[in-house]
Amino acid sequence: MYLADRTWPELGDALSEESVAVVPLGSTEQHGPHLPLATDHLIAEALASAAADETGVVRTPTITVGVSPHHRQFPGTMWVDPPAFRDYVESFTRNLTYHGIDRVVFVNAHGGNVQHLREVGRRLHEDGTAYALEWMWDESIPELVDDLFEHNGPHAGPKETAMITHIAPELVRDDQFENARDGGLVDLDGSDAMVHGARTFYDSIDNSANGAFGDPTDVTPEKAEQLFEAAADQLVQLVEWLDARDREELLPKDRVA
């Protein structure tokens, strides 16, 4: 159920005490020459919608701008500073708890948000306000991603290309697939991104001139559907697991005597 489509009288029962919500979060940032800037938040929203439809939990509006300064050199990329992002998401989540929600899944589709969402979850858990988990879609199905694509790439590669091919094919510039591959970086592991155990880069442009990593020419509609359905199924199972937990077992444990 999408919260913002309902009237307030319709939300009374849905927002009863001890309920679950899914919060989609992504970014508005460059995704190579072949994918829209909306890629991450479109993926998060589509997966959160699928899980909410399947389980009946509440889906909130999408947080569309995340921590993306490492893509700032590419026109159109938007970002907020990490402290502002953490404070906003924490305040957003505390607002949900006012209405009775005490368990939250941050349905995340942007790597730059991960550590900050985990920190927000820790804060909320520490004071007993809510139990909030960060969930990153591709981390839920790593074996399938590896099986489907030879050169995944961490950003604007075949896995994200496949997801947008399934969700919003009209936004995919498939005539730019070869340009994305040839003008980007296909194999990050084979580059000098890591030297003697040190990460040598700060911005994506340091490694990829067009912002793409991996080989999107490997994407097909069949692979795209398989990837989306597998990730959505993992999210549904997580939501059902969380919904079945008693609040008491999720609260911080007492100090050891």
Per-residue confidence (pLDDT) for residue 32, from 0 to 100: 98
Task: State the pTM of this model.
Answer: 0.96
Q: What percent of the chain has pLDDT over 70?
A: 100
Per-residue confidence (pLDDT) for residue 189, from 0 to 100: 84
Confidence of residue 188 (pLDDT cuts 50, 70, 90): confident
Mean pLDDT (the chain) is 95
- Domain coordinates of the chain in residue numbers? 3-245
Per-residue confidence (pLDDT) for residue 124, from 0 to 100: 98
Q: 3-245 sits in which CATH class?
A: alpha beta
Confidence of residue 14 (pLDDT cuts 50, 70, 90): confident
202-208 contacts: CB < 8 A, separation 24 or more? 202/70, 203/70, 203/71, 203/72, 203/73, 204/30, 204/70, 204/71, 204/155, 205/71, 205/73, 205/74, 208/32, 208/184
Query: Mean pLDDT, to the nearest integer, of 211-232?
Result: 97
How many CB atoms are closer than 10 A to CB 192? 9
Per-residue confidence (pLDDT) for residue 247, from 0 to 100: 85
pLDDT in tens, 63-113: 999 999 999 999 999 999 999 999 999 999 999 999 999 999 999 999 999
Under DSSP, is residue 135 helix (H, G, I), strand (E, B) or coil?
strand
Task: Please give the helix or strand (H or E) that residue 106 lies within, else none.
Answer: strand 101-108
Cα angle: 128, vertex 95, 62; to 5 degrees: 115
Under DSSP, is residue 108 helix (H, G, I), strand (E, B) or coil?
strand
Query: Mean pLDDT, to the nearest integer, of 194-198?
Result: 92
Query: Mean pLDDT, to the nearest integer, of 150-179?
Result: 96
